[in-house]
């Protein structure tokens, strides 16, 4: 593992909250004097920020803590726990690095699937789509309100490219299977809203959306010409 990889793992553990109190304090102090570590922590926060926006906090059951304490007391009465605790700590440290490596992908899956399964937004007709940059990080996050025909899109891991523009497209068999431009989008890490006038709900709901990298100002042909991300909408509520 290189120094760069080690820094990224530590940054991921810091953001995910898998460090104990002493380790967290040490990393917090290090980031004040190590620019690379501070940048890595900010990158992890940015990478996982979309999950925090999409999933509201869920309070644990009121009796959860008492149940945990009761189980611990029961095990303590059955015999010494020292060896078991040491074994669990070793296993936790071994698996923690694996968890960090997989956490960004898990966050993407939670955005795309967990929002529907875990949360119940009050507003009906909300759909989301995640445009994957790679296995570990989404490039863009798209949210569409099918009732108002307004979409909101924000960059996650996508970065501005000199002399290039990102362009959003929609394609559907109901539209003849030809990509249609929905306009240019900037690689800004804040949501930007666009209207979808003229598109029926059934078209938008089943369409494939794409984001291509085009020359500055957009595609010169009216069709995608550069590398592209693709995604379909998934309902955020049932």
Which one-letter DSSP state was computed for residue 57? Answer: -
Using alpha carbons, select from 96, 122, 9, 106 the residue that is nearest to residue 50: 106
Provide the residue ranges of all domains of the chain, joining segments of one domain with +: 3-118, 126-235
pTM of the model: 0.51
Q: Which one has a higher pLDDT value, 226 or 16?
A: 226
CB-CB neighbours of 190 under 10 Å: 8
pLDDT number for residue 164: 92
Mean pLDDT of 135-149: 83
Residue 19 in tokens: 């460090």
Report the pLDDT value the prediction gives residue 218, as an integer from 0 to 100. 92
User: pLDDT value at position 135?
Assistant: 62
CA–CA separation, 28 and 191 (whole Å): 29
* pLDDT at res. 181: 92
Between CA 10 and CA 175 the distance in angstroms is: 48
pLDDT in tens, 69-81: 777 777 666 555 5
Are 113 and 106 in contact, with CB atoms under 8 Å apart? no
Average pLDDT for the chain: 76
**Is residue 84 within 8 Å of 78, Cβ to Cβ?**
no
Tens of pLDDT, residues 15-54: 877 777 788 888 888 888 999 889 888 888 776 665 555 5
Its CATH architecture, for the domain 126-235, is Sandwich (2.60)
């Amino acid at each position: 593992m290189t120094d760069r990889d080690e820094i990224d793992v530590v940054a991921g553990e810091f953001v995910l909250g898998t460090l104990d109190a002493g380790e967290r304090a040490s990393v917090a102090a290090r980031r004040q004097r190590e620019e690379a570590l501070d940048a890595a922590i900010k990158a992890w926060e940015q990478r996982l920020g979309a999950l925090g926006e999409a999933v509201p906090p869920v309070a644990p059951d009121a009796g959860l803590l008492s149940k945990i304490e009761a189980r611990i007391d029961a095990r303590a009465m059955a015999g010494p726990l020292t060896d078991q605790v040491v074994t669990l700590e070793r296993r936790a440290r071994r698996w923690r690095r694996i968890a960090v490596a997989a956490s960004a992908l898990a966050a993407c899956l939670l955005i795309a699937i967990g929002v529907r399964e875990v949360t119940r937004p009050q507003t009906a007709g909300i759909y989301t789509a995640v445009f994957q940059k790679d296995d570990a990080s989404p490039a863009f996050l798209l949210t569409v309100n099918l009732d108002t025909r307004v979409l909101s899109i924000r960059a996650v891991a996508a970065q501005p490219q000199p002399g290039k523009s990102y362009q959003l497209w929609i394609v559907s068999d109901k539209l003849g299977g030809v990509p249609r431009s929905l306009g240019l989008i900037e690689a800004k890490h804040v949501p930007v809203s666009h209207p979808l006038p003229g598109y029926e709900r059934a078209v938008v709901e089943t369409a494939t959306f794409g984001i291509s990298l085009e020359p500055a100002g957009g595609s010169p042909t009216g069709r995608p010409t550069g590398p592209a991300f693709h995604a379909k909408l998934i309902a955020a509520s049932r």
